[in-house]
Chains A and B, each alone.
Chain A
Amino acid sequence: MASFIGIDLGTTYSVISYIDDTGRPKIIHNSDGENITASCVAFEGAEVSHTGDEARKMQGTDDSVAAKFKRDMGKKIKHTYNGKKYTPTQLSAEILKRLYFDAKNQIGEIEEAVITVPANFSNEARVETKKAAKLAGINVKHMIDEPTAAALHYAYEGDGALNGYYAVYDLGGGTFDISIVKINGFEVDVIATDGISELGGDDFDAELQKIIQKKFLKATGEELEEQDFTKAQAEDSKKSLSKRDIKPAINKILIPVTRAEFEDEISGLVAKAEMTCENVIELSKIKLDDIEAVFLVGGSTRVPIVQQSVKRIFKMNPTATSNVDEVVALGASIYAAHKADQSKLNVAQKKAINKVSVQDVTPAYYGCIVNAFDNEKKKEALIVSIVIEKNVKRPCSFTETYFTPQDNCPKIRIQITASNALVTDPDFVNTIVDDWLEPLPAGNRQGDPIEVTYSFDDDGIMHASFLDVKSGIKKEISVSDLDVDKDFIDID
Chain B
Amino acid sequence: MSIDNKLLLQIKLAVAVAVADHEFSASEEKSIKEWFKGKIQNSSASQRNKLLKDLSNKISNLRELAKSGQLELELVFYEINKIDDRSFKYAALDLSIEVMVADSTIHPNEVKLIEEIIEELGLDQSTAKKYIRNQILNMDKPPKDIDIEGLLKINPSVSNKDSQKLIRREFDKWNSASTSTQTLKQRKHAQVMIDIISKVRERYV
Residues of A within 8 A of B (CB): 75, 77, 120, 122, 196-198, 267-269, 271-272, 274-276, 278-279, 364, 376-379, 418-421, 423, 425, 427-431, 489
Contact = CB atoms under 8 A, between A and B. Distances in A.
A428 B181 contact: yes
B202 A423 contact: no
A425 B129 CA distance: 11
A274 B165 CA distance: 12
Contact of A428 (B86, B168, B176, B201): B176
Nearest to B137: A427
A272 B198 contact: yes
Given A268-B202, A421-B173, A197 B178 contact: yes
A386 B127 CA distance: 19
A376 B124 contact: yes
Contacts of B182: 427, 430-431
B119 to A, nearest CB: 15
Contact of B179 (A269, A279, A430): A430
Contacts, number: 96
A198 B192 CA distance: 11
Interface of A is mostly: mixed
- From A198, A275, A279, A364, name the one whose CB has the most chain B CB atoms within 10 angstroms: A275
Contacts of A279: 168, 171-172
A373 to B, nearest CB: 12
Nearest to A125: B179
Interface in B154-205: 164, 167-168, 171-173, 175-182, 184, 186, 191, 194-195, 198-199, 201-202, 205
A425 B184 CA distance: 18
Nearest to B134: A427
Contacts of A269: 198
Contacts of A77: 184
Given A267-B202, A427-B138, A419 B180 contact: yes
B175 A196 contact: yes
Interface of B: 86-87, 90, 123-124, 127, 130, 133-134, 137-138, 164, 167-168, 171-173, 175-182, 184, 186, 191, 194-195, 198-199, 201-202, 205
Given A279-B172, A430-B180, 4 more contacts: A122-B179, A421-B180, A427-B137, A428-B137
B175 A376 contact: no
23 contacts: A198-B178, A198-B191, A267-B202, A268-B198, A268-B199, A269-B198, A272-B171, A275-B168, A275-B201, A276-B171, A278-B164, A377-B87, A377-B90, A377-B127, A378-B86, A420-B176, A420-B179, A421-B172, A421-B177, A425-B134, A427-B182, A428-B181, A431-B182
Nearest to B86: A378
Nearest to B201: A271
A306 to B, nearest CB: 14
A276 B175 contact: yes
A271 B181 CA distance: 23
A278 B165 CA distance: 9
A275 B171 contact: yes
Contacts of A379: 87
Nearest to B171: A275
Contacts of A75: 184
Contact of B127 (A275, A376, A423, A430): A376
B87 A268 contact: no
Contacts of A272: 171, 175, 194, 198
B195 A268 contact: yes
B57 to A, nearest CB: 32
A378 to B, nearest CB: 5
B19 to A, nearest CB: 27
A362 to B, nearest CB: 14
Nearest to A277: B168
A274 B123 CA distance: 34
Q: Which of B87, B167, B179, B182 has the most CB of A within 10 A?
A: B179
B133 A425 contact: yes
A66 B184 CA distance: 20
B181 A430 contact: yes
A244 B178 CA distance: 35
A269 B199 CA distance: 8
A418 B176 CA distance: 10
A275 B172 contact: yes
B184 A421 contact: no
A387 to B, nearest CB: 15
Nearest to A270: B198
A271 B194 CA distance: 10
A293 B122 CA distance: 49
Nearest to A364: B180
Contacts of A430: 179-182
A428 B195 contact: no
B169 to A, nearest CB: 8
